[in-house]
């Protein structure tokens, strides 16, 4: 479309909401949030402090109510004590005591045996009581519980009519969402028997990170990169999720899960989805999720031979982390001494569609690596004709680095002329630094996700077909590795950059990993 000066105008997506108010100024009605697992680790570390922040900032309406449900016998007053402690310990900023007390008055506790009918009768009664005192407008069931408890909770809620009704209940489900495609499908079937897809919020906290959402803003808010964003200009893409921590006392969970289920199936797939998806026709939940699903479905299925050649597994041995001697994975608590569980993954994926045919996506992630860094590096092809420098000079490829954490930056590596008489190319960086530009820290991921759940915006939550498509990608790797135990574990030292085969994976293609 042309304007009257003959310049091209952009067309608005018909899904764009035209609205004068800032997108931040959202004021919803009061809700009841039931947290199953309300006294557990996630509740204390994340959910209660986040709900408190939203309450302080008036994004969670003042008359809302939080009902913690847990196995432990506790009075409302005792639970409020736990809430106070968790806010003091994990709340982001020092806050006024009065505010904590006001929040605590909106908190109660329900002793819950999730397999007993009586629990749901009580729950119903409590919700009815709360609703009769205020003008409650919504109900959120937050399942911060191990996967085995999801089924009895959903069935219990259903029997008491808590999946439907005028409060339009929503259900939030934490990861891990199943342990393979079959179990994820069963879980979806169970949930969708009683809830509609539009009521289900499957959490992947990576999607709540500002810098992850920024991938979409960077791609679809600028016109200069999208024409280059394809097989013609991009040589390969690297995705790194490196952690310097170990398994942090989660031996029981981790030894059964391993790195592929813990990080690749969800966080890394989501990053790949955002980098590789086609522009959606609007920024609405299903339009965005449709495009991601297409990416996952286009990932080339992997045979055992391919996995043996292009997927690398590792497990850390003893070494140094953050200047301290640390034990190997097999010596961690609740891990078996001959464990075959991988704590490191590196692999090469292909997305078989027109945009990405034959562009390798290299992925690596691991525990107890040298540094904590999550980043995406898009490496562009070399110029078609070499004009500059001498044959021995290295012309670094243009790289676009999207740093997700700990630094929150975007940088574009370009070649310029090195000062002086020669014709020597020199690589420099153009940089955008989130903290410097905005002078604020980016907000915790859970804040954004809980707010979106209150608003009813599903864009940053995984849909059932999306979760299953992600399992489809990784299932063959998990089963190959479970059926053929590694003979060389442990094969990297804590504090290193992972097993040497990971570097070899890149060398074989004449490429190299960015430094961790
Ligand atoms: C979780 C994994 O989903 O993500 C953990 O279960 C991992 O093992 C964590 O440490 C990493 O999250 P972040 O936000 O620190 O990168």
- The tens place of each residue's pLDDT in the chain, 516 residues long, gives 555 555 667 888 887 765 555 556 667 899 999 999 999 999 999 999 999 999 999 999 999 999 999 999 999 999 999 999 999 887 756 667 888 999 999 999 999 999 999 999 999 999 999 988 878 999 999 999 988 899 999 999 999 999 999 999 999 999 999 999 999 999 999 999 999 999 999 999 999 999 999 999 999 999 999 999 999 999 999 999 999 999 999 999 999 999 999 999 999 999 999 999 999 999 999 999 999 999 999 999 999 999 999 999 999 999 999 889 999 999 999 999 999 999 999 999 999 999 999 999 999 999 999 999 999 999 999 999 988 888 888 889 999 999 999 999 999 999 999 998 888 899 999 999 999 999 888 889 999 999 999 999 999 999 999 999 999 999 999 999 999 999 999 999 999 999 999 999 988 778 999 999
- Backbone φ and ψ for 349, nearest 5 degrees, come out as -115, 155
CB-ligand 1 contact for 174 (6 Å cutoff): no
In a domain, 279, yes or no: yes
Nearest atom of ligand 1 to the alpha carbon of 204: 3
Nearest CA to ligand 1 atom 9: 263
Atom of ligand 1 nearest to the CA of 209: 14
Q: Within this chain, do residues 232 and 373 fall inside the same structural domain, yes or no? A: yes
Give the closest residue (by CA) to ligand 1 atom 2.
Answer: 262
Output the CA–CA distances (angstroms, integers) from residue 469 to 289, 396, 505, in the order listed.
Answer: 12, 36, 25
Residue 475 placed within a domain: no
Domain annotation covers residue 356: yes
Q: Measured between alpha carbons, how far is 255 from 74 in angstroms, rounded to an integer? A: 32
Write out the DSSP string of 215-280: HHHHHHS-SSSGGGSSTTTEEEEEEEEE-S---TT-HHHHHHHHHIIIIIIIIIHHHHHHHHPPPP
Distances, alpha carbon 360 to alpha carbons 114, 395, 396, 414, in Å:
46, 21, 18, 22
For residue 238, is it within any domain?
yes
Q: Say whether both 158 and 290 belong to one domain.
A: no
Residue 179 is given by DSSP the state S
Which atom of ligand 1 sits closest to the CA of residue 253? 6
Range of the domain at 90: 23-174
Confirm if 115 and 107 have CB atoms less than 8 A apart: no
Domain holding 304: CATH number? 3.30.360.10
Residues 340 and 273 occupy one common structural domain: yes
Please tell me whether residues 168 and 227 are part of one structural domain: no
Could you tell me if the CB of 244 is within 6 A of ligand 1?
no
Which atom number of ligand 1 is nearest to the Cα of residue 266?
3
Tokens of 370: 């040298």
Q: Ligand 1 centre and the CA of 419: distance in Å?
A: 44
Measured distance CA(269)–CA(275) in Å, rounded: 10
The total of structural domains in the chain comes to 2
Same domain membership, residue 255 and residue 107: no
Pairing between β-strand 311-314 and β-strand 344-350 as defined by DSSP bridges: antiparallel
> Going by C-beta distance under 8 Å and a sequence separation of 6 or more, which residues neighbour residue 140?
31, 32, 33, 34, 169, 170, 171, 172, 453, 454
| pTM exceeding 0.75 | yes
pLDDT at 198: 97
- Ligand 1: centre distance to CA 160 (Å): 35
Q: Is 204 close to ligand 1, i.e. is its CB under 6 Å away?
A: no
Question: What whole-number distance in Å separates Cα of residue 27 and Cα of residue 99?
Answer: 19
Cα–ligand 1 centroid distance for 242 (angstroms): 10
Element (H, E) at 31: strand 31-36
Shared-domain flag, residues 226 and 324: yes
Residue in 46, 177, 206 to alter for ligand 1 test, most ligand atoms within 8 A of Cβ: 206
Closest CA to 513 of 357, 346, 387: 346
Task: Of 292, 142, 265, 295, give the one whose Cα is nearest residue 204.
Answer: 265
DSSP letter for each residue of 37-50: TTTSHHIIIIIHHH
Give a yes or no: residue 11 inside a domain.
Answer: no
**Are residue 159 and residue 228 in the same domain, yes or no?**
no
Q: Which amino acid residue places its CA nearest to atom 6 of ligand 1?
A: 262
**240 and 145 housed in the same domain:** no
CA of residue 104 to ligand 1 center, whole Å: 29
- Looking at residue 2, its pLDDT comes to 54
Cβ neighbours, 10 Å, residue 481: 21
Position 481 in a domain: no
Question: What pLDDT does residue 510 have?
Answer: 82
Ligand 1 atom 5 nearest Cα = 262
Residue of minimum CA distance from atom 14 in ligand 1 = 206
Query: Can you tell me which atom of ligand 1 is nearest the CA of 445?
Result: 14
Residue 317 forms part of a structural domain? yes
CA dist 446 and 60 (Å) reads 14
Q: Determine phi and psi for 198, rounding to 5 degrees.
A: -70, -5
225 and 150, same structural domain? Answer: no
- Write the CB contacts of 7 (distance below 8 Å, at least 6 apart in sequence): none
Rounded CA separation 6/92 (Å): 51
* Spacing, Cα 424 to ligand 1 middle (Å): 43
* Any ligand 1 atom below 6 A from CB of 243: yes
Give 493's strand partners: 317
Domain end point (choices 174, 195, 217): 174
CA of 250, closest atom in ligand 1:
8
Sign, CA dihedral 209-204-505-229, equals negative
Q: Which of 174, 199, 229 is the last residue of a domain?
A: 174
How far does residue 496's CA lie from ligand 1's centre (Å)? 19
> CA-to-CA distance for 116 and 112, rounded, in angstroms?
8
Please choose from 249, 262, 373 the residue to mutate so as to test ligand 1's pocket, defined by most ligand atoms within 8 A of CB.
Answer: 262
Handedness of CA 334, 337, 340, 343 (dihedral sign): positive
Residues making up the chain, counted from first to last: 516
Given ligand 1 and candidates 204, 205, 254, which is best to mutate, with the most ligand atoms within 8 Å of its CB?
205
Closest residue (by CA) to atom 8 of ligand 1? 262
47 and 139 share one domain = yes
- Residue 513 belongs to a domain: no
Residues 112 and 212 occupy one common structural domain: no
Q: Which of 174, 200, 224 is the C-terminal boundary of a domain?
A: 174
Distances (CA, A) of 79 to 13, 198, 388: 47, 32, 69
Answer whether 262 contacts ligand 1 (Cβ < 6 A): yes
- Which DSSP state fits 299? B
SS3 165: coil
User: Which among 173, 211, 263, 443 is the best mutation to test ligand 1's pocket, defined by most ligand atoms within 8 Å of the CB?
Assistant: 263
Contact 338, 486 (CB under 8 A): no
119: CA distance to ligand 1 center in Å? Answer: 32
Whole-angstrom CA distances from 114 to 145, 250, 508 are: 10, 23, 53
Ligand 1 centroid, distance to 103 Cα (angstroms): 29
> How far, in Å, CA of 34 to CA of 55, rounded?
15
**What is the CA(263)–ligand 1 centre distance, in A?**
7
Residues 28 and 135 in one domain: yes
Burial of 45 (0-12, 13-18, 19+ CB in 10 A): middle
Is there a catalytic annotation at residue 205? Answer: no
Which residue among the candidates 141, 205, 236, 267 is catalytic per the annotation? Answer: 267
Instruction: Identify the CATH number of the domain in which residue 43 sits.
Output: 3.40.50.720
């Amino acid at each position: 479309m042309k304007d009257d000066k003959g310049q091209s105008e952009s067309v608005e997506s018909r899904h764009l909401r035209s609205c004068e108010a800032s997108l931040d100024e959202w004021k919803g009605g009061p809700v009841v949030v039931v947290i199953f697992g309300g006294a557990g680790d996630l509740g204390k570390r994340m959910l209660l402090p986040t709900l408190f922040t939203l309450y302080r900032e008036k994004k969670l309406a003042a008359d809302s109510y939080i009902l913690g449900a847990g196995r432990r016998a506790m009075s409302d007053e005792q639970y409020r004590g736990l809430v106070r402690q968790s806010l003091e310990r994990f709340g982001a900023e020092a806050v006024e005591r009065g505010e904590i007390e006001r929040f605590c008055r909106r908190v109660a506790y329900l002793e819950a045996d999730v397999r007993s009918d009586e629990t749901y009768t009580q729950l119903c009664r409590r919700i009815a009581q709360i609703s009769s005192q205020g003008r409650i407008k919504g109900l959120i069931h937050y399942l911060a519980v191990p996967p085995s408890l999801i089924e009895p909770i959903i069935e219990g809620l259903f029997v008491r009519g808590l999946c439907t009704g005028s409060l339009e209940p929503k259900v939030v489900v934490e990861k891990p969402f199943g342990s393979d495609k079959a179990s994820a499908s069963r879980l979806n079937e169970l949930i969708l028997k009683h809830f509609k897809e539009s009521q289900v919020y499957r959490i992947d906290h990576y999607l709540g990170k500002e810098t992850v959402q920024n991938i979409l803003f960077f791609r679809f808010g600028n016109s200069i990169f999208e024409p280059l964003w394809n097989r013609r200009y991009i040589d390969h893409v690297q995705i790194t999720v490196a952690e310097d921590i170990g398994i942090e006392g989660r031996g029981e969970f981790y030894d059964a899960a391993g790195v592929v289920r813990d990080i690749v199936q969800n966080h890394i797939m989501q990053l790949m989805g955002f980098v590789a998806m086609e522009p959606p026709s609007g920024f609405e939940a299903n339009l965005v999720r449709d495009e991601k699903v297409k990416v996952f479905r286009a990932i080339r299925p992997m045979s055992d031979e391919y996995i043996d050649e292009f997927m690398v597994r590792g497990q850390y041995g003893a070494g140094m982390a953050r200047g301290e001697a640390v034990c190997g994975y097999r010596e961690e608590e609740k891990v078996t001494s001959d464990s075959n569980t991988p704590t490191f993954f590196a692999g090469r994926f292909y997305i078989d569609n027109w945009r990405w045919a034959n562009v390798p996506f290299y992925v690596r992630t691991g525990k107890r690596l040298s540094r904590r860094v999550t980043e995406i590096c898009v490496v562009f092809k070399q110029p078609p004709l070499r004009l500059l420098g001498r044959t021995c000079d290295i012309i670094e490829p243009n790289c676009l680095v999207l740093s997700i954490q700990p630094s929150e930056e975007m940088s574009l590596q370009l070649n310029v002329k090195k000062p002086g008489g020669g014709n020597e190319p020199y690589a420099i960086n153009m940089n955008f630094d989130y903290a410097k530009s905005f002078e604020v820290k980016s907000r915790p991921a859970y804040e954004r996700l809980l707010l979106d759940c209150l608003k009813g915006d599903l864009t940053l939550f995984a849909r059932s077909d999306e979760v299953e498509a992600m399992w489809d990608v990784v299932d063959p790797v998990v089963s190959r590795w479970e059926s053929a135990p590694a003979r060389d574990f442990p094969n990297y030292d804590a504090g290193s950059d992972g097993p040497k085969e990971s570097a070899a994976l890149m060398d074989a293609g004449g490429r190299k990993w960015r430094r961790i």
